[in-house]
Amino acid sequence: MAVIDRQTETALDSVRDRYGRTVDHHAAATARTRRNAAALETYAAYLAQHADQLLDAAHSSLDKLPAARHISAWRDLLAALGASHAEILRFLDRPATHGSPAEREQHAALWLHLAAWADYGSMAADLADQHHQPAPELTGAERRTWTQFAQAAEHRGELDLIESWFAADGRRITLADLIEDDTSTVIALAGDPDAPGWEVVGHYADVYEAGQALPRPVSPGVLRPEAASRFNRPEPAPERPLQELLQDVHEGQSAGDVSEALLGATQEGFDAGPMVRLQHLLDAAAEFSHALETVRGRQIGARLEGLGRQLAFLTREVQEAAEDLGATVAVLPPHRTPQPPRIRPRPALGTTPPAPPHRASAPARRP
């Protein structure tokens, strides 16, 4: 599905103008029709006969997990995947005539169900993989000893975090590289590495061994559960590239030209300018950092919020400066005359080109 989606986006980009607006709606519809047919064909070939078994395994694993606040949401998502699978099978059992408008309508109706599996099928696979039995974790004195080793390495700056995930029981597991006396050991931490109370629950020769011994990861969450997903994004809003606004300034001759470019960079609304979009990006990144629910994440989220406020202030200043610049109604003085292009004259027809300069032979080197 990732390959199909990438090919479709490439085709859709080719029928949009430089501001991102679709200009050839027929070609765009054709690209989406090909996408729908390819996605259905892929689902029928690789997943249709295994989806029920996968969902059953995921439900079975879910029933064995300890209670947690995300369990009910996982059940709802598995139920939605099951409903989408049933709808896809219903259409596969009664396909419309190949190449007919009815078939295109059928495929278009199935796209939301196919996209749901592309977006969330990995969660069902992660749950089905929870039958894995992890190795025993460190306990007692050994856990305390390794935790003290890791804390000392952290104070020395010799504890490098590698990756993290959540286990099915809700614990945050983080792999780290512990350096002690020029030797490196992969350790597993349980808890927030940036907050007091984390512990070392295992040590391993490498990352692969750690992955085999530790609890399997579950699918991470999303920032906004109600937002559109990767495979079902809305049509992008039109925007003027910052490079084009800069070129407008370089080519401008009046204060109004430059004022308009600056106002284009700071305008609000559906077709917001680059500065406003950057502000939205900072706000979303701050929200994401807080949603990590870690000490470091909250600190970085606060930094991003501060940067967002500074950018909002800067945007207002740029808007005011742009309006003041436009109110001057000034133009550039005539002594800033453009230089004529340097065009070399072409030789007349029949003219023999000059011979290249003679290159002296390199002197022979003495032994």
What is 90-157 written as a DSSP string?
Answer: HHHHSPPPTTSHHHHHHHHHHHHHHHHHHHHHHHHHHHHGGG--PPPPP-HHHHHHHHHHHHHHHHHT
Dist. CA 176–CA 173, nearest whole Å: 10
Is 343 within the bounds of a domain? no
118-128 tens-digit pLDDT: 999 999 998 98
Is 246 in contact with 264 (CB distance < 8 Å)? no
* CB-CB neighbours of 279 under 10 Å: 22
Question: What is the extent of the structural domain holding 295?
Answer: 242-327
59 and 20 in a common domain = yes
Domain count, the chain: 3
The stretch 324-338 carries a mean pLDDT of 95
More confident call, 22 vs 227 = 22
At residue 366 the predicted structure's pLDDT band, cuts being 50, 70 and 90, is low
Nearest 5°: phi and psi at 194? -100, 5
Nearest 5°: phi and psi at 214? -90, 165
Is 231 within the bounds of a domain? no
> Is the per-residue pLDDT at 113 higher than 90?
yes
Residue 148 confidence (pLDDT) = 94
Residue 302 confidence (pLDDT) = 98
Residue 313 confidence (pLDDT) = 98
At residue 362 the predicted structure's pLDDT band, cuts being 50, 70 and 90, is low
Token readout for 52 is: 């029920």
Residue 281 confidence (pLDDT) = 97
Token readout for 334 is: 């005539």
58 and 28 in a common domain = yes
Dist. CA 220–CA 36, nearest whole Å: 27
What is 31-98 written as a DSSP string?
Answer: HHHHHHHHHHHHHHHHTTTTHHHHHHHHHHHHHHSPP-TTHHHHHHHHHHHHHHHHHHHHHHHSPPPT
- Reading phi first (left if > 0) and then psi (alpha if -120 to 50, else beta), residue 141 is in alpha
Consecutive H or E run containing 247: helix 242-251
Dist. CA 250–CA 132, nearest whole Å: 62
Residue 350 confidence (pLDDT) = 67
Is 46 within the bounds of a domain? yes
Is 228 within the bounds of a domain? no
> Is the per-residue pLDDT at 78 higher than 80?
yes
Is 367 within the bounds of a domain? no
Is 309 within the bounds of a domain? yes
Residue 130 confidence (pLDDT) = 84
At residue 351 the predicted structure's pLDDT band, cuts being 50, 70 and 90, is low
> Is the per-residue pLDDT at 344 higher than 70?
yes
167 and 283 in a common domain = no
259-303 tens-digit pLDDT: 999 999 999 998 899 999 999 999 999 999 999 999 999 999 999
For residue 202, the 8-state DSSP code is E
At residue 361 the predicted structure's pLDDT band, cuts being 50, 70 and 90, is low
Dist. CA 47–CA 86, nearest whole Å: 12
Q: Which range among 52-56, 89-93, 129-133 shows the weakest confidence by mean pLDDT?
A: 129-133
Consecutive H or E run containing 309: helix 295-327
SS3 at position 16: strand
On average, the pLDDT of the chain sits at 91
Rg (CA), the chain: 31
194-229 tens-digit pLDDT: 999 999 999 999 999 999 999 988 889 999 988 877
265 and 171 in a common domain = no
Residue 147 confidence (pLDDT) = 95
80 and 182 in a common domain = no
